[in-house]
Amino acid sequence: MLLSQAARLSSAAEDMVETHLLDLIALALGKAAEGKVSLGSSTRSLVRTKLYAAIEAQLSSPALDAEAVASAAGVSVRYANTVLAEENTSLGRLIQARRLARCREALADPGQMHRTVSEIAYGWGFSDMTHFGRRYKAAYGLLPSEFRRHSRKA
């Protein structure tokens, strides 16, 4: 929008805009030098948003892995993991955590009681039921079938 209006600015207005922009840049650089603002924080935030969106979009696919997520977000796996390390996680852990959370939601949903635990796990991208059971218990303290029984009683 500003660029479309630039042709209509008088010389004095151009000088004023230039001065204000230079002041803003100097202020941002000064804050960054003081450690108050990270110049790359908005870029990392955008990458993080893209990573989360890519995971959610492909979560049910058993083929979803770190490479697929990073590629969808337009970054390398290494950079993606560097960005996620700020949240003490990685692509692999994040994919697994999101899948487990979706399985937990489905197991607790009365409308999903007709589906077996295996169907739910396969539906959210798990391909090995033994692995799923171990990861689920490690995350939530109960086997998926135990959680389902407890949620039915509640």
Place of tokens 């002041």: 23
Q: What pLDDT sits at residue 153?
A: 79
CA 25 to chain centre: 30
Q: Does pLDDT of 136 surpass 50?
A: yes
Q: What share of the chain is helix, strand, coil (3-state, %, to 5)?
A: 75, 0, 25
Task: For the chain, give every domain's residue range.
Answer: 2-33, 41-153
* Tally of CB atoms within 10 A around 105: 12
Given this structure, which CATH class describes domain 41-153? Answer: mainly alpha
Percent of the chain residues topping a pLDDT of 90: 68
How far, in Å, CA of 36 to CA of 22, rounded? 19
> Which tens digits make up the pLDDT trace of 24-40?
565 555 555 555 545 46
